[in-house]
Amino acid sequence: MLTNFFFKIKLQILQIPISLLVLILNLFVILPFLVLIFYLGSAFQLLVTFLLFILLSINSIFLFKFKINNYNFEISKNIEIEKISKKYFSEFNEMTNTINKKTNYLRNEINISTKLLNLYKISKNHFSDGMIFLDYDMNILDYNEQAVNLFELEINNEKDIKKLTDFSNNLDLFNFYNNSKEEKYLETDIIFSFPQRYFNLKSVNTNNFIILILKDMTEYVNLDITRKEFFANTSHELKTPITSMKLNLDALSNSKKNNNDLDFDFFLNKIKEDSDRLEKISKEIIDLHEIESGKLSLNIQKCELSIFLEEIKRDFYIILKKNKIDIEIITQSGFPEILIDKNMFRNAIENLISNSVRYSPPNSKIQINCIYSEKFYNISIKDYGIGLSDKDLPHIFERFYRAEGLRSEKHSGIGLSIVKQIIDVHNGEIYAESLLNEGLTITIKIPYL
């Protein structure tokens, strides 16, 4: 009850005007003095004191109002500041949220970039294509091992590779790099010399650096070239005996009309030779296809190699006699029986002997040496013919390859490829050694089965 009473009094006091309230307060302050002056002093003093009271009250009222106004101004100012603060604080919160979102986005992007970078570092040397990263001043930022291998470089210190010129001095490569600065993606083919190699180049311009991607196309280009040469050469090989057969048939017909039996037999033999040649070419093409496609299955048998080679030598008796060439077979004492597919191996040896006879001069010989070791049977066939150049030697077992010069005119480029395929299916090895004009030696190594 007492608390409510005082609360009501406070409310009533707050409702009194400020001027009257100040006047009453000042009156309570000065009233004791007025009473004392009234009883002890004169009327003049009382008047002066009353006037002072009035002035004091007026001054107090103005001062109090001035302070109240200042206080109200401060309050309104604080309210306005608070409004502005809320506004800017809201904007600041929005900006902070935006920054946080951007920061999180960038953090995620950095994490992804870091993972991709780590993945690239782990896998870069496992790419089959060469990769070189460059800035716009031809400075190398990074590269993989395949790029080094493609350019056949020997690097002792990675810091030695600073510029693209440290990889190659090929002008086409530099022109491609310069053109890549202007294009987002670019692709071209270029040829490197000494030795001649074919590359496919691609570039990606990221606006920060350029990525060069190099692919060695030499094998594919050479295969395409040899394929085209094979069809051209085979067409020529087929066309020659066919044309010869037609001419001999015409001549044979004329001989028949003239009852010339000697010419008849001559042209008949020529037609047979041409038909044999056609048959040989066709058989080589069929054999190559069947061996490569795996259609021929091995029929492994034990074979006495010296007897096997003597049989093949007898089959070449007429050709050897005609060309005045002898075959010498040398077999190591105690040479064990060899496990081979006789038909396929006969085809391989016949091809090698035919090749040696074809390029050997008259009155020369062909040596066949047979030795064995702990793991292999070794058979080498050596002739003393025109031999092969260092350029041609590594390619003689490739499909459709024909060496330059004299050798190119006498075969279709299939025979030695068939030989290699036959040795391969026996899990063996074959290699050649030669010096130009000093003959050719081909060695076959067959493992024990």
* pLDDT tens digit sequence for 346-355: 889 988 998 8
59-65 long-range contacts, CB within 8 A, separation 24+: 60/22, 60/26, 61/18, 61/19, 61/22, 61/23, 64/18, 64/22, 65/18
pLDDT at 406 over 80: no
Using the predicted structure, report yes or no on whether residue 162 has a pLDDT greater than 90.
no
Q: Which residues pair with 163 in a beta bridge?
A: 139
**pLDDT beyond 50 at 93:** yes
52: which 2 tokens? 């002072």
Class of domain 300-447: alpha beta
Per-domain boundaries in the chain: 2-92, 127-216, 223-293, 300-447
Strand order in 429-434's β-sheet? 325-331, 364-372, 376-382, 440-447, 429-434
Can you tell me the mean pLDDT for 319-331? 91
Please give the average per-residue pLDDT across 272-301, as a whole number.
Answer: 75
How far apart, in whole angstroms, are the C-alpha atoms of residue 68 and residue 74? 10
pLDDT band at 266 (very low <50, low <70, confident <90, very high): confident
Instruction: Give the integer Cα–Cα distance in Å for 443 and 449.
Output: 19
> Where does the pLDDT of residue 187 fall: very low under 50, low under 70, confident under 90, or very high at 90 and above?
very high
**Identical fold at 127-216 and 300-447?**
no
C-alpha to C-alpha distance for 60 and 24, rounded to whole angstroms: 12
Name the pLDDT band for 6 (thresholds 50, 70, 90): very low
Percent of all residues in the chain with a pLDDT value above 90, rounded to a whole number: 16
pLDDT at 247: 83
- Average pLDDT in the 50-70 region? 59
Residue 402 burial class via C-beta count within 10 angstroms: exposed 0-12, middle 13-18, buried 19 and up: buried
User: Residue with structure tokens 């970078």?
Assistant: 117
pLDDT at position 7 over 50: no
Indicate the pLDDT class of residue 111, thresholds 50, 70 and 90. Answer: confident
345 versus 45: the higher-pLDDT residue is: 345
The CATH number given to 127-216 is 3.30.450.20
Q: What is the pLDDT of residue 11?
A: 41
| pLDDT of res. 435 | 85
What is the C-alpha to C-alpha distance for residues 323 and 364, in angstroms, rounded to an integer? 9
The residues near 165 (Cβ < 8 Å, ≥ 6 apart) are: 138, 174
Mean pLDDT of all residues belonging to the chain: 77
User: Residue 207 pLDDT > 90, yes or no?
Assistant: no
Q: What is the pTM of this model?
A: 0.48
pLDDT for the residue numbered 280: 74
Q: Which residue has the higher pLDDT, 400 or 250?
A: 250
Instruction: Indicate the SS3 state at residue 95.
Output: helix
Q: DSSP string spanning 247-307?
A: HHHHHHHHHHHTT-HHHHHHHHHHHHHHHHHHHHHHHHHHHHHHHHHT-SPP-EEEE-HHH
- pLDDT at position 421: 86
For residues 251 and 263, is the Cβ–Cβ distance under 8 A? Answer: yes
Place of tokens 């100012």: 77
Tell me the pLDDT band of 170, cut-offs 50, 70 and 90: confident
Confidence of residue 286 (pLDDT cuts 50, 70, 90): confident
Q: Place 65 in a pLDDT band, splitting at 50, 70 and 90.
A: low
CB-based burial label for 20 (10 Å; 0-12, 13-18, 19+):
exposed
| Class (C level, CATH) for 223-293 | mainly alpha
31, with CB counted inside 10 A (0-12, 13-18, 19+), is exposed
Report d(CA 339, CA 176) in Å as an integer: 56
Distance CA 125, CA 104 (A): 33
3-state secondary structure at position 35: helix
